Structure 1
Amino acid sequence: MYDLKPATSYTSTSLHEAVKLRLDEPGSFTKTVEPQTIPQFFREACENYADLPALVWETPGSGVDGWTTLTYSEYQERVEQTALMLLGVGVEERSSVGILAFNCPEWFFAEFGTLRAGAVVAGIYPSNSAEAVYHVLSTGEASVCVVDDAQQMAKLRAIKDRLPRLKAVIQLHGPFEAFVDQEPEYFSWQKLQERTFSNELREELVARESRIRANECAMLIFTSGTVGMPKAVMLSHDNLVFDTKSATERLQDVQIGKESFVSYLPLSHVAAQIFDVFLSLTHAGCVTFADKDALKGTLIRTFRKARPTKMFGVPRVFEKLQERLVAAEAKARPYSRLLEARARAAVAEHQITLIAGKSPSIYGNTKYWLASRIIKPIREMIGLDNCRVFLTGGAPTSEEMKKFFLGLDMPLGECYGMSETGGAVTLNVQINNLYSSGKACEGLSLKIQEPDCNGQGEILMRGRSIFMGYLGLPEKTEETVKEDGWLHSGDLGYLDPKGNLVISGRLKELIITAGGENIPPVHIEDLVKKELPCVSNVLLIGDHRKYLTVLLSLKTKFDGKTGIPQDALREETIEWLRDLGIHETRLSELLNIPSDLQLPNDTAAQAAALEITAEPKLLEAIEEGIKRANKHAISSAQKVQKFALIPHEFSLATGELGPTLKIRRNIVHAKYAQVIERLYK
């Protein structure tokens, strides 16, 4: 039998407990993938591909042409040195190591070094506030934290006194404040890497690594809930290795030793972990690191250097590429624009023929061959001419965008997964439609819970990559993973006749932005309400959008019999306005809308919302309140950028509230669709 740590349950909410593995899942693939720790998985790749390039990053003034390349054998040496370094500063077994940094080779060294030392990796988004960083480190029982630069170090200085278990903070990049390497618990990465470590410490590393088991926690991924701070998703060594091998099995045309990847999406997210860190190992691929401004415009420069053969991006990344290409085309001469448009149409037509499972005619093939020669320079311009696989996920991708990239010979394959599934559950690699996320990966099962007449219901998933549990949250774990092993995703969808998963919505209220960030609306709505006592309802908008906005209603009186909101403002609203030097007592006067607004009347409300021209002092005060609320945001992506006032409070009578007085978000979205669209122009 496999060498696993004794366990009594398939779930765990403690870093010190192991779990039983579902080794009896249906299908031969599950049985052929033996449980393996990540250090074993890593060592195997490094020894098999010792002389191949593994990591590439820019080092101005050094390296070859300002770039440094590390082979797999050198990669292994750096990881071992990092593991010894972490032992030297006191990393504890089964504690976590927080990594608060943008993607860089040291992130990878710290990750594998942590795992070799018998600890757990806990990535932290660089945009997180100091309080959000504290939440990750305290929840994860961190004994060491690795930070990017002085800006991130300042966050640690602000919270370290509240983290008695945290023994060391290591800063990767300068400039360094005077206390680094002077005070006992603060270190620079470079000086630690230069140390020579004793044989005793090396023996301790061997001993620790020998105690690691595949069914123990390897990584914490912090994912948002509907309220409060993020939950810590516990992923075992087996979860991550199995999902990686499952995804590799689904990917086609893998050319061992010739694959190129670009690391630019946050490594604290499970998608970047699987794609950048682990898939590169199964492919013997080379990972090139983008810089911190990748998503602000420098990503294409890295693409041109790396010439990736596989690319994963959230829809917003492809949206930005599309915007750049459309802008470049607009500057071209009319004849060039016409030629490119016709070439794109011919390439898209060829791709659609292939997707439909048909064989192109000789004429069609010839037209495609000629058109692709015109399109190729465009792909060369963005550094994606060698790319054979384009994957997108984390948020829905519009059919319009998919068709745009078909015309560039870049078919976007959607994939679906969650932090709780250890990565991808489906991969649409053999693209035979533009509407689905593809079929389940090898060794993973999907089913639809209580499907309706259209086959739609909650998406359930099961397999060896399903997470261990939420750290310290047994009740939340039991809500998500049932005793039978099925994970309840909270997402709505159906399976088409060919077994492809089609996602149609979400049961949960999480907003997923165009950048793929999970946003808990209730938490942000409460922050705004706290800062603006005049506001009754706050509704966060941002699903599939570039940024967050809110709809706001001011507090008014209600008709005691009908429950319909009235025009008269509540006393607390009047007092709040008076402090601003505003003396109106009726909503219609304040917003310059009809005083005889007929409610419940959706048409009247919609028309009034579009006509609102509020008192400037009121708008300024609301804007200041939102700015104050934004100071408490967990990350930059969770800050509200714009707002709009609506002409009445939510109520049962007007349809925005359900029987249990919960907001019917889809009703509000439909009712004020035109107002919402204005916020994104």
Structure 2
Amino acid sequence: MSDTQPLIENRPPSVATLFLERVQATPDAEAYRYPVPAAGGPDEWRSYSWGEAADRVFSVAAGLAALGVRPEERVAIASNTRVDWILSDLAILCSGAATTTVYPSTNAEETAYILADSSSRVLIAEDASQLAKAREKRSELPELSHVVVIEEADAVSAEGDPEDWVLSLSELARRGRVYLDTHPECVKETVAALRADQLATLIYTSGTTGKPKGVRLPHDCWSYMAKAIAQTGLVTQDDVQYLWLPLAHVFGKVLTAAQVEVGHVTAVDGRIDKIIENLPVVQPSYMAAVPRIFEKVYNGVAAKAKAGSPVKYKIFLWAAGVAREYGKVTQDNFRRTGVASAPVGLKAKHAVADKLVYAKIREAFGGNLRACISGSAALAPDIGYFFSGAGIHILEGYGLTESSAASFVNPGEAYRTGTVGKPLPGTEVRIADDGEILLRGPGIMEGYHQLPDKTAEVLEEDGWFHTGDIGELSTDGYLRITDRKKDLIKTSGGKYIAPAEVEGQFKAICPYVSNILVHGADRNFCTALIALDEVSLMQWAGDQDGLKDRPYSEVVASEQVRKMVEDYVEQLNSGLQRWQTIKKFRILPRDLDVEHGELTPSLKLKRPAVEREFGHLIEEMYAGSREA
């Protein structure tokens, strides 16, 4: 630990401090790129230098001070990922206040709960739809004194609004500039007075059960994360990051802190439907994503090949097998010798497959990608090895909202698919007797907001945090997550099963699956609910007798689809232990989604919600069995 002591003991108190240092060091360097929609053509990308970003940040920070916002009071942001989110967050930090994050997809009722529970004084709302949620619940939000709307045209007061309750972000910045005329040093003085233990962020866990809990993350968590990520050497000042992840989620948020410390360019656009279009334009050298994105890319490529011709699909399957073998062999050799080598015969096959398949995949990612960071959920190893062999290096990481997101990450060239890598400098890890992963370090939360009993359940007095995840540590410090403690299921025969492991294997086999839930707790066999991806399934259906031009609802209910999925389930079962095998399955009539409450905003499966919604299908599968 000696080499990490300076990192732990001598870091500045806040990311606001780091921001001021960054602006002073490289004021003219490009900081952010953002798209401006153009009528009838492609988006125009514009930039902020660090100096220009600081002008905007200081104006908004002073504007918050002019509204009467004081240190540690909460200012909420409800917006999609865009450059204004990042600049507003930095302004909140520089004003001494604390950011409450709200997913833009959150409904009015839960938005009101978060705003009330956090006692947020101001809401920075993206547009009219976010403003409408606050307006609908205004009677329940007596402490909310202002709603600041990013889209200027949407900052319109309505009958019944208190005076000055709605204003635009531009108007707030204008007021801030006026305030700076009479208090020119107010922002710098506020930042200088910040303490490491002051509240910086309240992030409400989307959670797979119950009401969201506010996770209290002080300034020190983010300052530590910024320094620790920089020390890994995974990102450099020359990098271009493509950032589309939701910034209300801790995974997206931690990337903004690291960027301030490192000083590289970040291209920001949270429109998921624009990712494919943006990648060749931005040409990022690194980006972060959740496993669902990589699964969709893989399944999309596989489905496209299958729709092309039997020969094209055969070539793809061959190339996919070569990629997985190449990924495994090169990683194993690097582990043993420090060189990512492969036998001559495998290299020759890989070179052919690269020309036919892999080069096109890399081009789709912009052609300049050094690595991707994957987090928030487990990536199926077969998907990881495929991309590894194709030259898209996916470095899995691990962390929770309660640990400021980045507790573990794979170390660059020495990454190991199927693991989440090694702990960040300054983070300690311990595996409890029951296999639970415990963490301790500067990234761990202060506690849950106004929930001391809940805090005590997971945070020990000596700082060890109980993650609720089960894992294994290798002798040289790589962590493998095997499952959520509460998601492990035990059959009536006494066998333990990790459903996520089985689900991940199926996703790597079936190119048409979108989501799968394996069920079997206290039952005598396992079953599965399977949701299919509409785009890839409809491409497949176009080549099937009797299914062409039929709607998704009819296709997904057809006997041809059931038989096709059954073949993939049999393929899955051939590689499982007997007690893990899927004896019965049902295909869902629609995909799972955030709107129905079946996925979290970071696309994690909410098992209880899915089991409630489709409980009749589960019971149908067990009808007549002895344990049903």
TM bucket by the smaller chain? 0.7 to 0.9
2:291 maps to 1:310: no
Match of 1:353 in 2: 329
Instruction: Quote how far apart the aligned CAs of 1:302 are.
Output: 1.5
Unaligned runs of 5+ in 1: 1-25, 452-456, 516-540, 548-602, 612-619, 656-670, 672-681
2:483 counterpart SS class = strand
Q: What SS is found at the alignment partner of 2:406?
A: strand
Equivalent position of 1:215 in the other structure: 197
Deviation by residue 1:370-423 (Cα, 9 ceiling, x = unmatched):
543444541354234211112212112212212332342123222111111112
Paired residue for 1:189?
A: 169
CA distance in 1, matches of 2:25, 2:35: 26
CA distance in 2 between partners of 1:542 and 1:645 (Å): 10
Q: Is the 8 A contact 2:428 2:440 kept in 1?
A: yes
Q: Which whole-Å CA distance do the structure 1 matches of 2:600 and 2:280 have between them?
A: 34
| Residue aligned with 2:329, SS | helix
Q: Find the partner of 1:434 among 417, 423, 430.
A: 417
The equivalent position to 1:491 in structure 2, one of 456, 460, 469, is 469
Task: Write the distance in 1 (CA, Å) between the matches of 2:618 and 2:311.
Answer: 48
Match of 1:322 among 272, 289, 298: 298
| SS of residue paired to 2:124 | strand
Aligned-partner residue type, residue 644 of structure 1: H
SS class of match (2:241): strand
Q: Give the counterpart letter for 2:433 in structure 1.
A: E
Does residue 430 of structure 2 align to residue 447 of structure 1?
Answer: yes
Specify whether residues 174 and 505 from structure 1 end up closer, same or farther in structure 2 by C-alpha distance, changes over 3 A only.
same
> How far apart are the structure 2 equivalents of 1:431 and 1:243?
21
Decide which of 37, 45, 57 is 2:34's aligned counterpart: 57
Structure 2 distance, partners of 1:52, 1:339, is 45
CA distance in 1 between partners of 2:309 and 2:56 (Å): 51
Equivalents in 1 of 2:189, 2:531: separation in Å? 49
Match of 1:77 among 42, 51, 55: 55
Matches within 5 A, 1:11-410: 26-33=1-8, 34-36=10-12, 37-61=14-38, 66-173=44-151, 175-176=153-154, 178-179=156-157, 183-195=163-175, 196-198=177-179, 199-224=181-206, 227-252=209-234, 254-256=235-237, 258-275=238-255, 277-292=256-271, 294=272, 297-332=273-308, 342-357=318-333, 359-361=341-343, 365=347, 368-369=350-351, 371-375=353-357, 377-410=359-392
Contact map agreement 2:155 2:167 (CA 8 A) in 1: no
Measured after TM superposition, the shift of residue 334 of structure 1 is: 5.8
1:432 is displaced (CA, Å) by 5.2
In 2: Cα distance, 1:631 partner to 1:494 partner? 31
Contact (CA 8 Å) 1:242, 1:465: kept in 2 or not?
yes
Amino acid at match of 1:284: G
Q: Partners in 2 of 1:262 and 1:427 — Cα distance? A: 18
Q: Distance in 1 between matches of 2:148 and 2:500?
A: 33
Whole-Å Cα distance in 2 between the matches of residues 102 and 130 of structure 1? 16
Relative to 1, partners in 2 of residues 1:389 and 1:633: Cα closer, same or farther, differing over 3 Å?
Answer: closer
Change (3 A) 1:543 1:126: farther
Structure 2 match to 1:472: 450
Q: Distance in 1 between matches of 2:358 and 2:385?
A: 17
Maintained 8 Å contact 1:396/1:544: no
Q: Are the counterparts in 1 of residues 483 and 500 from structure 2 also a CA contact under 8 Å? A: no
Query: Does structure 1 retain, via aligned residues, the 8 Å contact 2:240–2:265?
Result: yes
Distance in 2 between residues matched to 1:223 and 1:123, nearest whole Å: 10
- TM-score, normalising length from structure 1? 0.69
TM-superposition CA deviations, 1:564-618 (whole Å, max 9, x none): xxxxxxxxxxxxxxxxxxxxxxxxxxxxxxxxxxxxxxx9xx99x989xxxxxxx
* SS of equivalent residue, structure 1 residue 229: coil
Name 1:675's counterpart in structure 2. none
Deviations 1:450-482 (A, max 9, x none): 15xxxxx11111111111111111122122111
Shift of 1:288: 1.3
Q: What letter matches 1:84 in structure 2?
A: A
Deviates more, 1:176-185 or 1:387-396: 176-185
Tell me, in whole angstroms, the C-alpha distance in 2 between the residues paired with 1:332 and 1:353.
30
Q: Which has the larger radius of gyration?
A: 1
- Root-mean-square deviation (CA, aligned residues, Å) is 4.0
Q: Are the structure 2 counterparts of residues 90 and 331 from structure 1 closer, same or farther at C-alpha, using a change threshold of 3 Å?
A: same
Deviation at 1:188?
Answer: 1.4
- Asked whether the equivalents of residues 427 and 441 of structure 2 are also in contact (C-alpha less than 8 Å), the reply is yes
TM-score by length of 2: 0.74
Asked if the contact 1:512/1:543 (under 8 Å) is kept, the reply is no
Q: 1:273 to 1:545 in 2, by over 3 A?
A: farther
| Residues 52 and 474 (structure 1), Cα distance of their counterparts in 2 relative to 1, 3 Å cut | same
**3-state SS, counterpart of residue 249 of structure 1:** helix
CA distance in 2 between partners of 1:338 and 1:645 (Å): 35
Matched, 1:462 2:437: no
Matches within 5 A, 1:549-568: none
3-state DSSP of counterpart to 1:67:
strand
- CA displacement, residues 340-399 of structure 1 (integer Å, 9 cap, x when unaligned): 555555444433222012533456556545543444541354234211112212112212
1:503 to 481, 484, 490: 481
What do the CA deviations read for 1:484-524 (whole angstroms, capped 9, x no partner)?
21111111112123321111122235999999xxxxxxxxx
Cα shift at 1:309: 1.1
Question: CA separation of 1:51/1:610 partners in 2, compared to 1, >3 Å: closer, same or farther?
Answer: closer
Identical amino acids, percent of aligned pairs: 26
Counterpart-to-counterpart distance in 1, 2:418 and 2:598: 38
Partner of 1:561: none
1:232–1:471 contact (8 Å) kept in structure 2:
yes
Structure 1 residue 238: Cα displacement: 1.3
| Alignment partner of 1:418 out of 391, 400, 412 | 400
> Counterpart amino acid of 1:119?
A
